[in-house]
Amino acid sequence: MKKKWMLLTAMILLVLAACSSADEETATNEEAAGEPVTITGTNGEVKLDAPAKKVVVLEWTYAEDLLAVGVQPAGMADIAEYGNYVNIEPQLDETVVDVGGRQEPNLEAIAAIEPDLIIGVSFRHDAMLKELETIAPTVIFNPYPEDESIDLYQEMETTFKEIAKAVDKTAEADQVLADLEKEYEASAAEIEAANLKTKDVILTLAYTGPQAPEIRVFTPNSMASIILDRIGLKNVHQPDQFEVFGSSTFNVEGLVKYENANYLYTVPDEDNIYENQLKGNPVWENLAFVKEGRTYDLGADTWLYGGPLSAKTLMDQITDVMVNQ
């Protein structure tokens, strides 16, 4: 009888040990997977069972946001063109899968990745949200809110933090933004020490329009203009109306009222209006900032619509050309 009790006790202990081991393994797996995450976009709250490991991004800025916190996207739209405009470190791995164009991404290519999360932008991807959601949870952001009280730098920071939360990198995102603030202060000190003739500026992006060259002049609510403020420069362009995309469009004659400011610009290499259409143009050639050599080329790959890494590139480029030129 005693032997039977001993055998029964041993069996119970074995069962308990097995259950305990299974519970520990389950707890370990759950801990490794992470806690559920809720992120918020223009399409509302998007709930993930765990932080996303494989993310497909359909807009360049959101790829940059991932890179800033040390995460490579699993898939991305329009990789080839990205390299022509966005100048940041770190760069994309060769493992990142191209999923077609930003406007019309390839749904089959996205599905083949089996992503945990898809990130899109409202003005391109609202119309295909339901299709994207059949593949994976999808969050949509709007970089151009119609609420005039929200500047585009605020929107950039808010979206960056949401994306960082989605991949469990909140602390890393906070550090990126804190480091950026210190770098603004350092650049502001360099600008101050440069003894510029004026700290008034306009910042522009130019291209060939249907009839003549067109020049986007960035407004005070734009991300790029707020970076100018952070480093001690003053954007003198005051638009007549709220510009949701953060810029007003001028022809060359419209620049006359700003000729006493410094002229900062970026222009595509393949569509350089300054070397082509405006070369020898009497209006352009007689602007004070042209005659006095106060035009500053920021380079074709200075992206004015990105996240914190592009913000740093813009700051560095402005500081470099204005201090060292």
Pairs from 105-108 (Cβ < 8 Å, separation ≥ 24): 105/58, 105/77, 107/131, 107/132, 107/135
DSSP sequence for 60-74: HHHHHHHHHTT---S
Round to whole Å and give the CA distance between 95 and 79.
Answer: 12
Q: Are 116 and 48 in contact (CB under 8 A)?
A: yes
- Tens-level pLDDT at each residue, the chain (325 residues): 545 545 545 555 554 555 555 455 544 444 445 799 999 999 999 999 999 999 999 999 999 999 999 999 999 999 988 988 888 988 999 999 999 999 899 999 999 999 999 999 999 999 999 999 999 999 999 999 988 888 999 999 999 999 999 999 999 999 999 999 999 999 999 999 998 999 999 999 999 988 889 999 999 999 999 999 999 999 999 999 999 999 999 999 999 999 999 999 999 888 999 998 999 999 999 999 999 999 999 998 889 999 999 999 999 999 999 998 7
Q: What share of the chain is helix, strand, coil (3-state, %, to 5)?
A: 45, 20, 35
